[in-house]
Amino acid sequence: MAQRDTRRLDEDDVRNRPTRYGSRARTKQRPAHEDAASGMVVTVDRGRFTVLLNDSGVQLTAMRARELGRTAIAVGDQVGVVGNLTGEPDTLSRIVRVNERRTVLRRTADDNDPYERVIVANADQLLIVTALADPPPVFGLIDRCVVAALTAGLEPILLLTKADLASPDVVLRNYAELDIPAIVTSRGADLDAIRAILDGKVTVFVGHSGVGKSTLVNALVPGALRSTGVVSGMGKGRHTSTSVFALALPPPQRGWVIDTPGVRSFGLAHVSADDVLWAFPDLEGGAVQCPGSCEHLSAADGCRLDAWVEQGHSSPARLEGFRRLLSSRTDLGGAVTPPS
């Protein structure tokens, strides 16, 4: 099976793809605050950031220093903070630096929104949580998550829940072609396979309401106090149900789970056919023979990929999977659900 090299994307892609605010301005901040403490942003709530200091584990409430201007700060960002670093109640520190990001997971508010919003910085993996039934899986939505992950430099992983209600076979077959790892689980099941894949990584969890994501996060991070079922937004208020937040995996595991309660889909207007292509190295040799502006959709439009596959360089299933991902950018594809 073709080996996908997600890490290859990180540096070039993140650097070459200009963000709204540019990436150079960030690194220029550095000399002014060499004494700043380093930490990771674990939540963002109405302009206030919670930062966990890397060395001491102290948790701070911070605001953006004026000198950062409108530089986006997202969960997962590595930042420099100054000011009151005790973490005591009612104290505030300032974020004076945002380090260059390894990866950036974005969404647009919708496909017509020209501004890309950063959801999570520096994540390694996107765990796409999908129920096998109640609610049933929707391939078009899963595909959109896969495209968002691949183009952000994150490894997509499928997590199929509620295996007690329906068979995973159809879904597994569909994504095996795309070379995407999948784990099947149900409530109360052994979590070892999931823990193994999370260990040492920063993993973003996405999934629609009711798929069992909160049940899972609670099981993986005891004390996370995530609300499950009908009640959300209990406890500390609405921020617990709508904001992205990072949770450290309990020892001896390392790594982070980043939950995304408010994120229902990804805008993919900024994703080009070639952005998706790099996840299919077995097709690249054919794509270089295509006309310059090829969207790679059909041989009738001059696409050379069908011929490439016929020559035995890749498989029809891979090409079909690639084209399915391409069309998920524009076509919500929501109607295609597997039989249960």
Stretch of 151-159, 202-210, 250-258, 305-313 contacting ligand GTP, by CB under 6 A: 202-210
* Contact between residue 178 and residue 325 where contact means Cβ atoms under 8 Å apart: yes
Give the shortest CB-113-to-ligand GTP separation in angstroms. 24
Determine contact, residues 335/168, Cβ cutoff 8 Å. no
Greatest Cα pair distance in the chain = 67
Closest CB 159 distance from ligand GTP, rounded Å: 11
Q: Is 225 in the site for ligand GTP (CB under 6 A)?
A: no
What is the residue-wise DSSP string for 303-336? --HHHHHHTTSS-HHHHHHHHHHHHHTT---TT-
- Nearest distance from residue 241's CB to ligand GTP, in Å? 8
- Annotated ligand binding at 61? The verdict is no
Q: How far is the CB of 287 from ligand GTP (least distance, A)?
A: 37
Quote the CA–CA distance of 288 and 286 in Å, as a whole number. 5
162 vs 329 by CB, closer to ligand GTP = 162
Contact flags string 74-103 toward ligand GTP, x per CB under 6 A: ------------------------------
Beta strands 201-206 and 255-259, pairing class: parallel
Please tell me whether 161 is known to bind a ligand.
Answer: yes
Binding mask 156-185 for ligand GTP (x = CB under 6 A): -----xx-xx--------------------
- Which CB atom, from 91 or from 289, has the smaller least distance to Zn ion? 289
Which residues, including other chains, have CB under 8 Å from residue 30's CB and lie 6 or more apart? 80, 97
Q: Is 145 marked as binding a ligand? A: no
Angle CA 138–142–254, to nearest 5: 135
> 113 and 271 in contact (C-beta within 8 Å)?
no
**The entry of Zn ion, ligand GTP, none that residue 303 binds, CB within 5 to 8 Å by partner kind:** Zn ion
Task: Give 190's DSSP letter.
Answer: -
Q: In angstroms, what is the minimal distance from the CB of 238 to ligand GTP?
A: 13
For the beta carbon of residue 335, count every other beta carbon within 10 angstroms: 9
Q: CB of 96 within 8 A of CB of 36?
A: yes
Residue 187 touching ligand GTP (CB under 6 A): yes
CA separation, residue 265 to residues 108, 115, 208, 254 (Å): 9, 15, 9, 28
Binding partner at 84 among ligand GTP, Zn ion, none, C-beta below 5 to 8 Å by kind: none
137 in contact with ligand GTP (CB under 6 A): no
Cβ at position 263, least distance to ligand GTP in Å: 11
Annotated binding site for GTP: 161-164, 207-215
Binding site for ligand GTP (CB under 6 A): 161-162, 164-165, 186-187, 207, 209-215, 228-229, 232
Annotated binding site: 161-164, 207-215, 290, 294, 296, 303
